[in-house]
Amino acid sequence: MAMNIRLEHLRKEFAGTVALDDLSITFQSGKLTTLLGPSGCGKSTLLNLISGILPVSGGGIFFSDKEVTKLPPDKRNVGLVFQNYALYPHMSVCDNIAFPLEIKKVPKAKRRERAYELAQLLQISDYFERKPSQLSGGQQQRVAIARALAKEPDILLLDEPLSNLDARLRLEMREEIRRLQLKTGITTIFVTHDQEEALSISDYILLMRKGIIQQYGVPQELYDKPANSFVADFLGNPPINMFNVTVEGTDRLATEDGIVFHYPTGALEPGRKVQFGVRSEAFTVTDQADLGTPALVSNVFLNGKETLYLLQIGGQSVRATFNGSVRFGQGDTILVSVGGSHSHLFDAESGAVL
């Protein structure tokens, strides 16, 4: 039975360093939540607290209605795949997968049967008798995941399980993890610092920074409605363009070097300094001289399915992608306007969306 994971005012300090601060959140039962954030933001620490490998400094952890804050790891029924997955080198694939069952004193024939089922599920049954050194990185990774699933955990925690794989294998493996998660319906937390990976396989994303929650929601929500400039900047490829601007009236923003964007500023008071975040797809080409902002095309990159334009707007380099059959070359001066849902204003100090 799938369980939710509820964290209440969770806190973790390491000798004075605060790794996680006042974290309260519920990870939904049966869903895959991605834990995303830059290196050092506390992702592994959070998994280690949930699995019980590390004690908390404060707050509580609940699996559905049961408090587990002080339970030892082996009483939590959590499957954990570490950031650097460690298989037992002297044991076969079968014995590696079955190891948690051996600890549980499951009879040998039964262990083997269960290990084989899991190997089939992860498509590694052809290598059942091999040693880890005779497997590719991706195959070893799958053994580690099968081992984590062997004890039929209520919760599966995966700490950057794909970090050692090449791009193609990584793509295949993440699809496989998603397939497996949907098939088993197990509540899963998947750690990555790859935003594209997070956007592609998650039911929910939790984005953290320096041990503090920045935003929690479905992927599209974080992309379309970022809570602050950090979230906007972290998600999206190419990264969002950020301008420091001053509000001028109800429909104009001016950059530091006097470039004007025609953009609705709502109730913001004139003269206020704000950050203007514009995703590459929010730019359109216009021929209305009074509404357009001049931009110099400084480079054009064919990027497979779309063309990426590097523009100079005032003193700033800007990345833009245009719809349809727009074609420009290096050195052209064009007029662009910004609109639609992929542009946002942020408070200059706090970064909070306005």
Question: By the criterion CB under 6 A, which residues form the site for ligand ATP?
Answer: 14, 17, 19, 37, 39-45, 83, 193
With beta carbons less than 8 A apart as the criterion, state whether 240 and 231 touch.
Answer: no
Beta bridge partners of 243: 276
Residue 230: name the closest of 196, 262, 275, 197 by CA. Answer: 275
Among Mg ion, ligand ATP, none, residue 138 binds (CB under 5-8 Å by kind): none
Q: Which is nearer to ligand ATP, 80 or 320 (CB)?
A: 80
Q: Which is nearer to ligand ATP, 192 or 241 (CB)?
A: 192
Q: How would DSSP label each residue in 293-310? A: EEEEEEEEEEETTEEEEE
- Specify the residue for token string 């929650």: 213
| H/E element, 246 | strand 241-248
User: CA-to-CA distance for 188 and 232, rounded, in angstroms?
Assistant: 25
Q: Which is nearer to ligand ATP, 50 or 148 (CB)?
A: 50
For the bound state, the minimum distance from the C-beta of residue 162 to ligand ATP, rounded and expressed in Å, comes to 13
Q: Which is nearer to ligand ATP, 37 or 138 (CB)?
A: 37
At 164, the amino acid letter reads: N
From the CA atom positions of the chain, what is the Rg in Å?
A: 25
The HSE-up count of residue 285 (CA atoms within 13 Å, CB side) is: 16
User: CA-to-CA distance for 200 and 64, rounded, in angstroms?
Assistant: 27
Q: Which is nearer to ligand ATP, 83 or 286 (CB)?
A: 83
Residue nearest to Mg ion (CB): 44
Q: Which is nearer to Mg ion, 36 or 118 (CB)?
A: 36
The HSE-up count of residue 86 (CA atoms within 13 Å, CB side) is: 2
- Specify the residue for token string 């939790």: 206
For the bound state, the minimum distance from the C-beta of residue 189 to ligand ATP, rounded and expressed in Å, comes to 12
Among Mg ion, ligand ATP, none, residue 52 binds (CB under 5-8 Å by kind): none
Sign of CA dihedral 309, 313, 315, 316: negative
For the bound state, the minimum distance from the C-beta of residue 197 to ligand ATP, rounded and expressed in Å, comes to 13
With beta carbons less than 8 A apart as the criterion, state whether 85 and 102 touch.
Answer: no
Distance of CA 178 to the CA centre of its chain: 14
Among ligand ATP, Mg ion, none, residue 45 binds (CB under 5-8 Å by kind): ligand ATP
- Judged by CB under 5 A, which stretch of 43-51, 66-74, 268-276, 298-306 contacts Mg ion? 43-51
Among ligand ATP, Mg ion, none, residue 41 binds (CB under 5-8 Å by kind): ligand ATP
- Judged by CB under 5 A, which stretch of 44-52, 86-94, 247-255, 257-265 contacts Mg ion? 44-52
**44 sits near Mg ion (criterion: CB under 5 A):** yes
Among ligand ATP, Mg ion, none, residue 272 binds (CB under 5-8 Å by kind): none
Among Mg ion, ligand ATP, none, residue 193 binds (CB under 5-8 Å by kind): ligand ATP
* 8-151-97 Cα angle (round to 5): 125
Among ligand ATP, Mg ion, none, residue 14 binds (CB under 5-8 Å by kind): ligand ATP
For the bound state, the minimum distance from the C-beta of residue 127 to ligand ATP, rounded and expressed in Å, comes to 29
**140 sits near Mg ion (criterion: CB under 5 A):** no
User: CA-to-CA distance for 264 and 254, rounded, in angstroms?
Assistant: 12
Among ligand ATP, Mg ion, none, residue 131 binds (CB under 5-8 Å by kind): none
Peptide bond into 238 cis (omega under 30): yes
Q: Which is nearer to ligand ATP, 16 or 329 (CB)?
A: 16
**45 sits near Mg ion (criterion: CB under 5 A):** no
For the bound state, the minimum distance from the C-beta of residue 218 to ligand ATP, rounded and expressed in Å, comes to 22
User: CA-to-CA distance for 117 and 98, rounded, in angstroms?
Assistant: 11
With beta carbons less than 8 A apart as the criterion, state whether 295 and 313 touch.
Answer: yes
Q: Which is nearer to Mg ion, 10 or 93 (CB)?
A: 10
Binding site for Mg ion (CB under 5 A): 43-44
